Chain A
Amino acid sequence: MVSLTLALLGVGKNKMPRNPMRQWKRVMQRRLAWHFRGRKRNCYRLSLCPVKKSLRFSTTVRPIRRRNINNLFMNRIAAGCAQHGLQYSSFMRALYESNIMLNKKMLAQLSIYEPRSFQSLCEFAKKRHTELLQKGLAVAVEPTPSGIITRDMIKKSL
């Protein structure tokens, strides 16, 4: 029979590891911090705080990410419009007022991958602008209905 006292006492190689999770913690840290800059990438102690911060950022920065992506789409659409001689604001306004339900993501994709479709949208916006102008001019030029006296009529008669 082999003596079990040394094994049970935990001496030498049989010593109970103080920190059984040590290896696992370092592996997890490396998985979360592999893309960091400097020693925080390789050293466990130095990466403890940055990893905590990155986990915190991954949730708190969600609205900011949406904002950034929205701004990127706006920049891309503005660039596409400028190539056709339009401004971003008038382009979006024309689409909104004509009930064209294209969101900024799709418009940005169109401006990159479907240039002809985007060009037709710009032409539509320009045409709408000229039509509104002509309508406005016609309203200004048409004669006033009877029974109404305007200041211009009094001045002209004088």
Chain B
Amino acid sequence: MQWAVLARTWWIYDANQQCPFRSAYRLTTYLQGLHKPVYHRHGDVGDHVVVFNTRHIAMRGDFWRTYKHFHHTRYGGGFSRASAYRVHEEDPTRILERACHNRLSGLDDKRTLMKRLHLFPDEEIPNEILENISGQIQQVQAIPKKLEDYTQEEIDSFPRLFK
């Protein structure tokens, strides 16, 4: 086997305008090591994943309002639930973190895998982490172009049906 097969690589992922749940599906495959042919659950073959722009994730439909995060402090009357938009205001990385956490359910080494996931709300990433990165994960969704992103020339040159 090649010597670099067992190395723990660092991957980067841009979460701008991406669905957190679909991204979590892809990110957890890299965290577990399912993208490697030498995969085994006990083999500790997972990689590090660095995600930036988690502040700008996109959820479908009513999910910002209707998707709830639950929390119980294990004391009496300590149950609370919050909509996704409130959680996002408080901590912009928590939705993606919870999505990945839920996808890794059933694994013994879930905690260690989550420690290898690094989330940043904006594009500021510390240099120590940037130096380690050696690959990029492809985005899950193609970002559609907004009307504001089109230049005036493109709008004018577009063929018109009616005058």
Tell me the complex Cα distance, A94–B104, Å: 32
Asked if residues A80 and B40 are in contact (CB atoms below 8 Å), the reply is no
Residues of B30-70 at the interface with A, using a CB-CB cut-off of 8 Å, are 34-40
Which residues on the A side are within 8 Å of B38 (C-beta)?
Answer: 76, 112
Residues of B50-96 at the interface with A, using a CB-CB cut-off of 8 Å, are none
- Nearest chain A CB to B34 CB, angstrom units: 6
Which residues on the A side are within 8 Å of B1 (C-beta)?
Answer: 112-113
Asked if residues B37 and A108 are in contact (CB atoms below 8 Å), the reply is yes
- Nearest chain A CB to B138 CB, angstrom units: 11
Tell me the complex Cα distance, A108–B36, Å: 11
- Nearest chain B CB to A64 CB, angstrom units: 15
- Nearest chain B CB to A57 CB, angstrom units: 18
**Chain A contact residues, CB within 8 Å of chain B:** 72, 75-80, 82-83, 108, 111-113
Asked if residues A79 and B40 are in contact (CB atoms below 8 Å), the reply is no
User: Which chain B residue lies CB-closest to A108?
Assistant: B37
- Nearest chain B CB to A107 CB, angstrom units: 10
Give 12 A-B pairs besides A72-B39, A112-B1 with Cβ atoms closer than 8 angstroms.
A72-B40, A75-B39, A76-B37, A76-B38, A76-B39, A79-B36, A79-B37, A79-B39, A80-B37, A83-B35, A83-B37, A111-B37
Tell me the complex Cα distance, A83–B40, Å: 17
The answer to whether residues A82 and B35 also contact, given A112-B1, A113-B1 and a CB cut-off of 8 A, is yes
Which residues on the B side are within 8 Å of A112 (C-beta)?
Answer: 1, 37-38
Tell me the complex Cα distance, A59–B14, Å: 48
Tell me the complex Cα distance, A83–B36, Å: 8
Residues of B1-19 at the interface with A, using a CB-CB cut-off of 8 Å, are 1
- Please indicate which of the listed interface residues B1, B37, B40 has the most CB atoms of chain A within 10 Å of its own CB: B37
Tell me the complex Cα distance, A117–B112, Å: 34
Tell me the complex Cα distance, A96–B72, Å: 52
User: Which chain A residue lies CB-closest to B2?
Assistant: A115
Tell me the complex Cα distance, A80–B36, Å: 7
Which residues on the B side are within 8 Å of A77 (C-beta)?
Answer: 37
